Structure 1
């Protein structure tokens, strides 16, 4: 029977067949140097390429102190759902989500573990240089952090992604949150705990391309804002009150001018402009309200965040591993069909 893991790594995967070999080539030496039992939890989020098959080939070569477990989801649920699945499956005393594209260097794990042993519950990896990202991505990310931190009750640490170390107590606190529409960066921050940061230069992808295009990033930003703040609703309330006040003042002005100077020629152009302007404002307000109503609708259905198709171990005959890993996923997902 393998020793219980001290460190759990969560790797969400979607069509990353070209990134796996370079990633494990750099990750395994780092974990060996730790000298602690580790587990690598790979969540195959409905990949359409050879990601799963390559993982199973790599799994055969696992070592005594390193356990690689592959969980296959029934379809592509998205990265936030895959991270949630990984947190549910992780057994380690410290849990580290990491992408396999090597933009987040595995070599930082040793420093994270050192700070964790000094008493920190969360160790953030923050990007001090994002020159590898495009100009548009850098600036839109900066705008998002600025906007989010202006209106959210709990600010996000800037340039910190999912790559971080979390103590078991932090993971258990996150697992208590029942929402289905999940913005994990916000949930990571919301639980609090004692934290510190390390800084690194973000590299380029080792292979493949990002699965987040501009439209998905925009929706991701909306998800983050509406998940952790009701400020947009208040803003439109204030904006509507301001327009009503200005309309009242302008109406009084028109009455006074008419009493003094008489009736002018009707301004059809200005009237049409005002009507279209106010109509547009109302539609935007309805859209903001619809975002929150849509989130409420999705939450009331109480569907699981993800569905697990199968879990792969190194040997189908290792009943000790099977009993160790068999558990209910509670409100996030159902128990999986085991190999």
Structure 2
């Protein structure tokens, strides 16, 4: 009789040839210590190095490993979603391969899950091996996002978390394409808690989240859960209109009373540059929202799978989404 899978560990991969063997070793060690049935799902998000070949070699030696190969790079959030779509465990754990999030923390998450929590997310108490700029921007972003949304998205957390099967199924059912998984998990609700850990320095290689991808993720987070940027645009627009009107009346009165002309060319150009700058910034903000609507309206699949190595029976959710 086939044993029921208790844990599904989802590991997104993009050009991780330098870390994948060590990542597999530590994940395997941790999961074996649970003495329960598990699967590890590596999702290859269009890697162009030897990541796919290395994981295929691991799959040949270990039937508990499954490799999902995308047809191209679809992004980290899509990779997480694909892993959830085909996962079969009662609890699903998402962790990156770079070992910045220590696999050993998963045991603490499992303990909390067995106590009755539906979501257990890793909270970064400290970040090692990261630049001041990275720490500052991350800290600022998480607090800005929290202040701008009505959803309680925990600060100093990433996608490293454990979710119960019913949470995973609810998350799979959400149809949106521009996914911000950590925000969606918070939006779903359920009984949530955290475990603190020290985020380690990357084991090897370079970060797969450069500034460009970080900014996209930031925009996805804000535009997925908040209309406040549009409200701010309205407020600033109204304030600018009021200040402009008052200034206009003031200048006319001043000219009449003192017979002066303060509307020199430099003053006028400065005001115009400021106003046009604000206009273009807020057109860009509106463009972010319109772009999301456009993406959703196309109704294209979130990702395309090339092949699955060590493929087992998959969820209906995966069959529908594919």
How far residue 326 of structure 1 moved from its aligned partner, in angstroms, is: 6.6
Unaligned runs of 5+ in 1: 314-320, 335-339
Secondary structure of the structure 1 residue equivalent to 2:234 = helix
TM-score (norm. length: structure 2): 0.95
How far residue 92 of structure 1 moved from its aligned partner, in angstroms, is: 0.6
Q: Please point out which of 250, 268, 281 is paired with 2:265.
A: 268
Secondary structure of the structure 1 residue equivalent to 2:11 = strand
Matches within 5 A, 1:1-339: 2-62=2-62, 67-262=64-259, 264=261, 266-313=263-310, 322=312, 324-325=313-314, 327=316, 329=318, 333-334=321-322
Aligned-partner Cα distance in 2 for 1:189–1:266: 53
TM-score (norm. length: structure 1): 0.91
How far residue 56 of structure 1 moved from its aligned partner, in angstroms, is: 1.6
Aligned-partner Cα distance in 1 for 2:290–2:186: 24
Taking a change above 3 Å as real, the CA distance of residues 21 and 265 of structure 1, as seen in their structure-2 partners, is closer
How far residue 128 of structure 1 moved from its aligned partner, in angstroms, is: 0.5
CA distances 1:249-303 after superposition (whole Å, capped 9, x unpaired): 1122223223433353642221121122211111111111111111111111011
Residue 317 of structure 1 is matched in structure 2 by: none
Aligned-partner Cα distance in 2 for 1:328–1:246: 54
CA distances 1:93-114 after superposition (whole Å, capped 9, x unpaired): 1000011111111111222111
Taking a change above 3 Å as real, the CA distance of residues 23 and 311 of structure 1, as seen in their structure-2 partners, is same
CA distances 1:159-180 after superposition (whole Å, capped 9, x unpaired): 1111111001111111121111
**Which structure 1 residue ranges, 4+ long, deviate > 4 Å from structure 2?**
none
Secondary structure of the structure 2 residue equivalent to 1:144 = helix
Taking a change above 3 Å as real, the CA distance of residues 215 and 325 of structure 1, as seen in their structure-2 partners, is closer
CA contact (8 A) 2:85 2:315 kept: no
Unaligned runs of 5+ in 2: none
How far residue 132 of structure 1 moved from its aligned partner, in angstroms, is: 2.1
Aligned-partner Cα distance in 2 for 1:53–1:90: 22
Q: How many pairs does the alignment contain? A: 322
RMSD: 1.7
How far residue 46 of structure 1 moved from its aligned partner, in angstroms, is: 0.9
